[in-house]
A = this chain, B = another copy of it.
Amino acid sequence: MKNIGFLDACRNAIGTAHVLTDDTDKAAYLTDQRQRYTGQALAIVKPADTAEVAAIVKLCNTFHIPIVPQGGNTGLVLGSVPDQSGQAIVLSLKRLNRIRAVDALNHTITVEAGCILQHAQEAAAAEQRLLPLSLAAEGSCTIGGNLSTNAGGTAVLRYGNTRELCLGLEVVTAQGDILHGLRGLRKDNTGYDLRDLFIGAEGTLGIITAAVLKIFPRPQVQLTALAAVQTPADALRLLSLAQQRCGATLTGFELMSDLCLQLVAKHFPQLPFPFPERHPQYVLMELSDSELAPHASTLLEAVIGEALEQGVCQDAVLATSTAQSRALWQLRESISSAQAKEGKNIKHDVSLPISRIAEFIAVTDALLQQHFPGCRNVTFGHLGDGNLHYNVSPPLGVGEEQFIARQAEINRVVHDSVDSMGGSISAEHGLGALKREEILRYKSPVEMALMRTIKQALDPLNLMNPGKVI
C-alpha cells in the first residue's frame, strides 16, 4: 500500500508516462554495462527537470524509498544499478539533457546531468571551444555520471579529471532541496567545498542535476606519434623528456605492452602494425598545439629525435595527417575489445606515483607468475597520469572459468602490490558496489570513519544509492 501511494504521488508529480513499472520497460535500466549483474526496482522514474527531481526526492523521503540515480549506465563498478531488493527506484536523469548555456568568453558551458558527453563536446566545438573530457563511452555516458564518478579518460595529463573541469554544480540534496551553485568562477573562496564533495560521490550524497564546466580554446592541430621502447622505465624517461620539451602541449601519453598490440593484430587484422619488427613496449604520444601544424611537427620530431639519440626509444612513427593520428589511436582503443575477443580476463584500474610505475609492473608481473604460472599480463593505460589498466588473461590452454574462479586471489595480489607502493585500487572507475568491500582493506579506519560521518550527516535516512561506495 505504501508503495502504491508513493507511485501515485510520483505520477502526480511528473506524469504517468515517466514512471515506468512494467517489467519490460524497466529492464533496460536494471543491468550493468558489462552485463554481469541485474537488479530489481520498484519503478524507473524519469523527471524532466531539476524541480521534478527535487519533488521525487522529497517523496522518497516521505515514503522512505531508496534512490539509485542513473545517467548513461555505462559505469564499470555496479554504481548505477539497484540491488535485488526491489525496494529502490532508479531515478533516470536522461530527460535533463539540455545545454543551458555556452559562454565562449568565460570559457564555460552549463549543461544538465543527463546530457550525453558527446553532445556537450559538440556544443563546445560549435563555439570553437574544446570540452576536453574524452573517454571510450562518450557517445552514451552522461555529464552527471562523469561528475559523480569523477571520470578520467585520455586527456587528464593536460586538463585533469572531471573534478578539475567543474566550476559549479546544481544539486538536489538527499532531503530534496535544491543547491543552486552554478557559478562560473575561477576563484571563489567563500566556505566549504561542497562541489567536490558531490563530485565523485557516485550519487550517495545527493543528485547532481547540472554543472558549469570549463572549456578551452580549440587547438589548431593535434599530432600523434607511436614510439617503440624497451621497458616501462624507458617509457617514463620519454615521458619526462616530452614534458620538459613540450610543456602543456603534451596532451596524451599512453603505454601499451607488446602483448596488447599482438592481441589487436590477432583480432583486428585490418589495423596495420606500424613497425617492421616488434618491440617490448610502445608509447602513444599526442601534442595539441595552439600554433600551426609545422610548429607541432617540429616539436614532436625534436623530442623523438632526442629520444632516439639517447637510446630511450628504438623506433617511432609520426602521424602526418589526422587520418594517421586516428589510426594510431585506434590501436590503443582496440585493446579492450581485442582482449575481450581473446576471452574472459581480470581487469584492474589502478594508479601509482608515476615514479614507481616501472617497479610496480616488474614486481607485480613476477608475483603473478609465482602464483599463476603462464598468466598473461595485458598492461596498458594512461602512463602520463600513473593510471594502468593492469589486466590479466589466463595462461594459454587454461580454461577461462577455471581462471576467473581465482579472481579474488588475483585481485588480492595486484591490489596489495598497488597499496604497498602508495597507489590506488580505483583510479578512474570509482567504487560502486563492486569495490565497496575491497576498499576496507586499504583505507585507514580514520578515513573510513570520516566518510561515514559525512554520509550520515548528509543522508541520515540512507536513501541515496545505498550499498554503493560506503
* Residues in A lying within 8 Å of B, measured CB to CB: 103-108, 149-150, 152, 156-158, 160-161, 163-164, 173, 177-181, 183-194, 196-197, 199-201, 205, 216-217, 219, 236, 240, 243-249, 289-291, 299, 351-356, 382, 385-387, 422-431, 435, 439, 442-444, 446-447, 449-451, 453-458, 469-470
| Contact of B423 with A185 in the complex, beta carbons under 8 Å | yes
Q: How far is the CB of A451 from chain B (nearest CB, A)?
A: 5
22 A-B pairs within 8 Å (CB atoms) are namely: A105-B354, A149-B189, A161-B186, A177-B446, A185-B353, A188-B426, A190-B425, A190-B443, A191-B200, A191-B469, A192-B200, A192-B205, A193-B200, A194-B450, A196-B197, A197-B197, A217-B243, A247-B248, A247-B289, A248-B248, A248-B249, A454-B454
Copies held by the complex: 2
Q: How far is the CB of A160 from chain B (nearest CB, A)?
A: 7
A148, B85: Cα distance in complex, Å: 43
Q: How far is the CB of A235 from chain B (nearest CB, A)?
A: 12
Find A446's partner among B178, B249, B439 (CB 8 Å cutoff): B178
With A179-B446, A354-B106 already in contact, the answer to whether A191 and B247 are too (CB < 8 A) is no
Note all chain B residues with C-beta closer than 8 A to A428.
Answer: 187, 189
| Contact of B451 with A192 in the complex, beta carbons under 8 Å | yes
Q: How far is the CB of A169 from chain B (nearest CB, A)?
A: 11
| Contact of A351 with B386 in the complex, beta carbons under 8 Å | no
Instruction: Given A180-B446, A188-B426, A190-B435, output 12 extra A-B contacts at Cβ < 8 Å.
Output: A105-B355, A156-B186, A161-B186, A161-B187, A185-B424, A186-B386, A187-B424, A192-B197, A193-B196, A194-B450, A245-B290, A454-B454
Q: How far is the CB of A354 from chain B (nearest CB, A)?
A: 5
Note all chain B residues with C-beta closer than 8 A to A245.
Answer: 290-291
A191, B427: Cα distance in complex, Å: 11
